[in-house]
Structure 1
Amino acid sequence: MDAMLTIAELREFASFTPAEQRYIERALDIGLGRCDVMVEWGGRDDAEAALASHVLAYERLDVLRAASPETLALAGLDGFMGLMMQLTLYDLSQGALTGFSAYRFLYERLLGAEIRPWLPAAFCAASALPQIEPERRKVLLQSLSEAAATAPGWSTKAPCFYPKWVEKEVA
């Protein structure tokens, strides 16, 4: 069964644009601490500034990982969802993620399977913020399917495939 899930995840990742794939790989390197991102992804001044910004944005991922969304009462929801929206807004504002599927794929790996019920709300909220240009806002919001928005339940099965950048581009 894990082999079938892995193949499905590989196919999904292959369906993303090259820019989405690179962004997801870089975000996972940063968010999971898989490597020295300045060495792996840096090399140009503009790249290093973007990396530093990304590292700074992801510094609070541990706070989200420690929060247990399933046990949050309404009193704790504002802090959790506020941080989820901030991180989501950061990632969406970078322009590489073009829809909910790529966003979901990334966040399931950054935060674990238990985050799935919260992703449609965080995605919709961040996509609707004025920091997102109106045309992009429309595209992002339309990318969330009715099935994803109204799912009666979510799988707790952890992702199997974690993409890793293996070939460095030469500028």
Structure 2
Amino acid sequence: MGVQMRPADGAMALAEMKEFAGFPAATQRYLRRSLDVGLGRDDAMGRWSRDVVEAASIKAQGRIYCRLDHIRDHLPDDSGLDQVEMFFAPLVTISAFDLGQGRITSFAAYRFLYERLIGGGVRPWLPGAFCAAAALPHLHPEKRRALLQSISEAAATAPGWSNRQPCFYPEWVDKIEATLPN
């Protein structure tokens, strides 16, 4: 028997699809690639590398993303500071890598990716990890400014977060030629 979806699930999936569609094409591509690498979907190298530079980036991403299991295992279940170090430092490291690739240009795109890579329970930690990674010196000052300005005050100071799991996980879509009927 299949999984039963409630109407609210369909509405959430549609909202997530609309959000994804609003990201620039390069961001959409990077998010799909990152989900393939981070979730072990398909052959990320074969699907996404267009040249040696991109192949090297995907290999580096795979090495960095090895920390994802550790992050998932150490996701704090409350805001207790005694649990933060084992979780937060690797999250900032992976975040810094992704922001350094230049394809994630906003907090919204970052949040979209990390909710899927780690799960809905990571939401309270994303503003801090994003700000920490976006402020690191490996990014050009203008890039740091643009990233930090992309997080709204509401996102940075939210009084609470949903732990609902995402519904929509974008994947590679093969292009097909449209044929007209004769």
Amino acid at match of 2:15: A
Which protein is bigger by CA-based radius of gyration? 2
Equivalence for 2:170: 163
In the alignment, is the contact (CA less than 8 A) between 2:74 and 2:86 conserved in 1?
no
Give unpaired runs (5+ residues) of structure 1: none
Equivalence for 1:119: 126
Q: Which has the higher helix share?
A: 1
Equivalence for 2:85: 78
Rounded Cα–Cα distance in structure 1 between residues aligned with 2:20 and 2:94: 21
1:104 maps onto 2:124 in alignment: no
Rounded Cα–Cα distance in structure 1 between residues aligned with 2:49 and 2:141: 31
Rounded Cα–Cα distance in structure 2 between residues aligned with 1:154 and 1:72: 12
1:19 maps onto 2:18 in alignment: no
Equivalence for 1:136: 143
Q: How does 1:86-97 map to 2 (within 5 A)?
A: 86-97=93-104
Rounded Cα–Cα distance in structure 1 between residues aligned with 2:66 and 2:123: 21
1:152 maps onto 2:162 in alignment: no
In the alignment, is the contact (CA less than 8 A) between 2:27 and 2:105 conserved in 1?
yes
1:47 maps onto 2:54 in alignment: yes
Give unpaired runs (5+ residues) of structure 2: 1-7, 176-182
- How many residue pairs match? The answer is 168
Instruction: Pick which of 13-22 and 67-76 moved more.
Output: 67-76
Amino acid at match of 2:107: F
Identity of aligned residues (%): 51
Q: Deviations over 1:88-125 (max 9, x none)?
A: 00000000000100000000000000000000000001
Rounded Cα–Cα distance in structure 2 between residues aligned with 1:19 and 1:44: 16
